[in-house]
Structure 1
Amino acid sequence: MGNRSSLLLREEEIAQIQQETGFTPSQIERLYSRFTSLDRGDCGTLSRDDFLRIPELAINPLGERIVNSFFQVAFKMYDLDNDDMISKDELLAILHMMVGTNISEEQLNSIAERTILEADEDGDQMISFEEFCKALQRTDVEQKMSIRFLN
């Protein structure tokens, strides 16, 4: 399988990833190697800054826009009615999808209201894409909006 000293994946992990993704063991090893070289914090996640350090993105005049597209996709996951705004009802719907009945309705309402309160800068009780991005910049993005790999 190549140089195993630099690769921390076990054979069973490679087999599981191969089964789930259809990637070959060689492709998995290359992806994992690339991931670990980008993971500057060595925490198993890639931050926005980690993405911007990708040489091809760093020299690409559209690199910033490419990375921002990840944020647009995240925003669209919450914008269920595609009106370019996230409402409290949309937040509640997503929270229900994520936690089901593990949290009370009162707690879910509190989370949604607090999220709107913290992110809504113009007072319209909705979160725009710009407000969403600003809220993410104020948040520990590595922890809250990270891509986890084999954790």
Structure 2
Amino acid sequence: MGSQSSHHLSKIPDMEAIRRETGFSQANIVRLHHRFRALDKEDKGYLSKKNFLCIGELAVNPLCDRIIDAFFENSESVDFRSFIHILAHFRPIEEDKPKDLSTQELINSRKSKLKFAFQLYDQDKDGKISRNELLEVLRMMVGVQVTNEQLASITDRAIQEADLDGDNAISFDEFTKSLEKMNIEHKMSIRFLK
């Protein structure tokens, strides 16, 4: 059993650096590497968008395409290190974070989680969530359960409540302020990623 564990460790380059950067334990990194390899059915060493569609929970999420796109910000494929860095956003926040990390922003901090969520809305990457971008996300999330008029009304009200500078869009600071009472740390955490 010990040799199998060390065999997995030898296949993960820069294990210690990944552990420091993401906050994952060695056991979690090995588990996520195993998951990565299971998704990489052709053993190419990287994943394509098509590989992510094999994740059942993700495939049924209305924001599936946007979540997958977050993994592929600047490329057509994702290696293990990029894969684990994105997943680190969903690692639960620990109250007793290591002291050597206290001066840097943790990848799973509230602010990092909010930045990740913000980018799911801000598709043109202009630093603002426009009415059309918000309307598009709401349409994806509720589908045909709500009329277009109702969706437009919900969108307009959300913009009106969050838009503090009157530019008819939601900046990251406004997004953060509008969600200050929401427990983002809990909502954007996957418990098995401790």
TM bucket by the smaller chain? Answer: 0.5 to 0.7
Task: Give matches, 1:115-126, under 5 Å.
Answer: 115-126=158-169
Q: How many residues align?
A: 106
Matched, 1:128 2:171: yes
The corresponding residue for 1:83 is 126
What is the CA-CA distance between 1:103 and the residue it aligns to?
1.1
When residues 66 and 141 of structure 1 are mapped into structure 2, their CA distance, relative to the original with a 3 A threshold, is: closer
Q: Please, which of 43, 55, 66 is the counterpart of residue 97 of structure 2?
A: 55
What is the CA-CA distance between 1:97 and the residue it aligns to?
1.3
Contact 1:85 1:126 in 2 (8 A): yes
- Mark the runs of 5 or more structure 2 residues left unpaired by the alignment: 1-30, 37-91
Quote the Cα distance in structure 2 between the aligned partners of 1:98 and 1:57.
39
Quote the Cα distance in structure 2 between the aligned partners of 1:110 and 1:98.
15
The corresponding residue for 2:75 is none
Q: Please, which of 147, 150, 163 is the counterpart of residue 104 of structure 1?
A: 147
Identity across the alignment (%): 37
TM-score, structure 2 normalization: 0.45
Q: Deviations over 1:80-119 (max 9, x none)?
A: 1111100111011101111211111111111111110111
What is the CA-CA distance between 1:58 and the residue it aligns to?
8.5
Contact 1:87 1:125 in 2 (8 A): yes
Matched, 1:22 2:35: yes
- SS of 1:51's equivalent in the other structure is coil
Contact 2:114 2:184 in 1 (8 A): no
The corresponding residue for 2:182 is 140
Contact 1:71 1:133 in 2 (8 A): yes
TM-score, structure 1 normalization: 0.57
When residues 91 and 63 of structure 1 are mapped into structure 2, their CA distance, relative to the original with a 3 A threshold, is: same
